[in-house]
Structure 1
Amino acid sequence: MEYLQGTYRVVKIRPGCMCDFTIECPEIAALSKAGQFVHIRVPGFTLRRPISICEVDKQAGTIRILFDIRGEGTKVLANTKEGDLLDVMGPLGNGFELLDPSKKAVVVGGGIGVPPMLETAKSYGENATAILGFRSEDKIVLTDDFTAQKNRVMLCTDDGSAGHHGLVTDLLKVRMEEEKPDIVYACGPKIMLKFVAKMCEEYGVRCQVSLEERMACGVGACLGCATPIKADDGSITYLHVCKNGPVFEAERVVFDE
């Protein structure tokens, strides 16, 4: 796994319900792929914070990250201002496998699992459908960004305040019935991933999922993010989400343990 560590400048902060930073880091941007993440050091905290890469601009030498405030560390990170420097390690992990842009792809994101779907859908343009789920209308992010790169957007909310009132799997079923895609990518809560994977299995569609687990080192040196995965012979082994993932073939993930 090839990654770098350095101090890089935050060049843009966008307003919204999630913290939305663009970081100028040409060396990291040049290596970054859809589905990978960065590990950011927060002053006063021992452990870095893992944050998915939302978007990569290799020409500008930037990456974009979005994150929620989930604890004291991200609360401090949220106070970052434009022009501030961040200690960033990355890109880390294995990303999604992108097929030929002519293939039909569906990306499914739930909540904080939506940001990494933007870069994933980018290469497919109008051949990608983005199924995005949020708790409510005031939590919606990035829909305009998906539309701007010619992705079809299907939106749902838990409370029905915007889009379809229900689950992402409701919309995935609609999309499957319209035209079976070549691949489905998903990131979000594990229960969501479980049912997305099950539906893809029923329809005979390949599915890759990005798992969300608590991480410590971010490079596979500790056991903090070990998760059960099916081996080729059907046995269960434990792999690191940070190093071996976060992306796995859905059929290999053990969701019920």
Structure 2
Amino acid sequence: MSMLVEMGSVVENNILSDDVRAMVIQAPRVAAQAEPGQFVMVKNESGSTFLRRPFGVADVDREQGRLLLIYRVAGKGTRELAGLEPTMEISVEGPLGGGFRFGEVSGGAYSGKEDGRTLLIGGGVGVAPLIYTARYLAEREPENKPLFLLGVRSAEELFWQDYLKEFTEEIIVTTNDGSAGKKGFAIDALPDILAAHDIRHIKICGPTIMMEGLAKLAMERGIECQVSLEKRMACGIGVCLGCTFEGKVSGKRWKICHDGPVFPAEEVFEK
């Protein structure tokens, strides 16, 4: 699989909440290659920012050649992206990194299908790359759709369910303020889910502190767990060394953009 730089065009750039936007980009060459858990680096060539911005691929429509990116408006670069309108050009570099792996069989090989139930857990805009992951699992094994644990701040962020419901068996919601679902954090709901379902695989993306607690619980229970790391990236291809960490098991210095962003939980967090 090769990395491309493609001049795409904006199809939609919709408002989901006060600070979250959903951008659909026509970029058929990148869309044809993107896999669940990978990311792209995008740039508004007519904007004032120099560096590209990394975003996890939220979903893909290969037939129409389109990518979905869901992002939080948090600074100058994302404010400029939020101002893009349909037909405007946007440069897309990708797909980048290594995504989620499915169905480990032996020696690091993967079958593409999960044995047993998978639980996807997302928090904040970390939910975005799990949409495409849920689609992948549902289309590969429609009789074994994943469960989804959605941890958000309030009921205002329940728009994620519209993107997930087609591809999931059940969506369990926690909100920080108790305005929807279970009051608390995602980790507060996890023990009940594990008691009610035979979960064999967990895939997580969200804030680091959230992922650490969830991953540790998964590892304690002997559940195969993968985490997708969120990190500021300058180059996206492993050259600048700005997004590295030391593996807990291997001791290797990993580049999140090049070697990840998805890693086995035990390589990222202490058991």
**How does the TM-score come out when normalised to structure 1?**
0.93
Answer yes or no: is the 8 Å Cα contact 2:42–2:54 preserved in 1.
yes
Distance 1:243 1:10, change over 3 A: same
Residues 1:238 and 2:253 aligned together: yes
Counterpart of 1:5 in structure 2 is 5
Q: How far apart in 2 are the matches of 1:52 and 1:118? A: 10
Residue in 1 that maps onto 2:204: 186
Distance in 1 (alpha carbons) for counterparts of 2:185 and 2:155: 14
Distance in 2 separating the partners of 1:237 and 1:2: 25
1:221-236 correspondence to structure 2 within 5 Å: 221-232=239-250, 236=251
> What is the CA distance between 1:176 and its match in structure 2?
0.8
Q: Which residue, 45, 63, 73 being the options, matches 1:69?
A: 73
Alignment counterpart, residue 167 of structure 1, candidates 181, 185, 208: 185
| Distance of aligned partners of 1:227 and 1:141 in 2 relative to their CA distance in 1, 3 Å threshold | farther
SS at match of 1:123: helix
Deviations along 1:57-96, whole A, 9 cap, x unmatched? Answer: 1111111000001111111111011111101101111100
Question: What does 1:75-94 correspond to in 2, within 5 Å?
Answer: 75-94=79-98
Residue 255 and residue 3 in structure 1: after superposition, are their counterparts in 2 closer, same or farther (change >3 A)?
A: farther
Contact 1:102 1:124 in 2 (8 A): no
Q: CA deviation at 1:27?
A: 0.8
- Look up the equivalent residue of 1:91 and give its one-letter code: P
How big is the shift at 1:102? 6.3
- Asked whether the 8 Å contact 2:38–2:57 carries over to 1, the reply is yes
After superposition, what is the alpha-carbon deviation per residue over 1:182-241, rounded to whole angstroms, capped at 9, x for unaligned? 210000011111111111111110000000111100100011111121344xxx232111
Alpha-carbon separation, structure 1, partners of 2:115 and 2:48: 47
In the alignment, what sits opposite 1:58? 62
1:26 paired residue among 22, 25, 28: 28
Inter-partner Cα distance in structure 1 for 2:117 and 2:179: 29
- The answer as to 2:249 corresponding to 1:250 is no
Query: Structure 2 matches for 1:32-51, cutoff 5 A?
Result: 32-42=34-44, 43-51=47-55
Per the alignment, in what secondary structure is the counterpart of residue 29 of structure 2?
A: helix
Change (3 A) 1:106 1:36: same
Secondary structure of 2:257 counterpart: coil
The 8 Å contact of residues 115 and 200 in structure 2, kept in 1 or not, is answered as no
What is the aligned-residue RMSD (CA, Å)?
Answer: 1.7
- Asked if structure 2 preserves the Cα contact closer than 8 Å seen for 1:10 and 1:84, the reply is yes
Query: Which of residues 114, 118, 131 in structure 2 aligns to 1:118?
Result: 131
Match of 2:69, SS state, is: strand
Q: 1:47, CA displacement in angstroms?
A: 1.1
User: 2: CA distance between counterparts of 1:80 and 1:128?
Assistant: 34
Unaligned stretches of 5+ residues in structure 1? none
Please tell me whether the aligned partners of residues 226 and 265 of structure 2 are also in contact (alpha carbons under 8 angstroms).
yes
Q: Which amino acid aligns with 1:190?
A: T
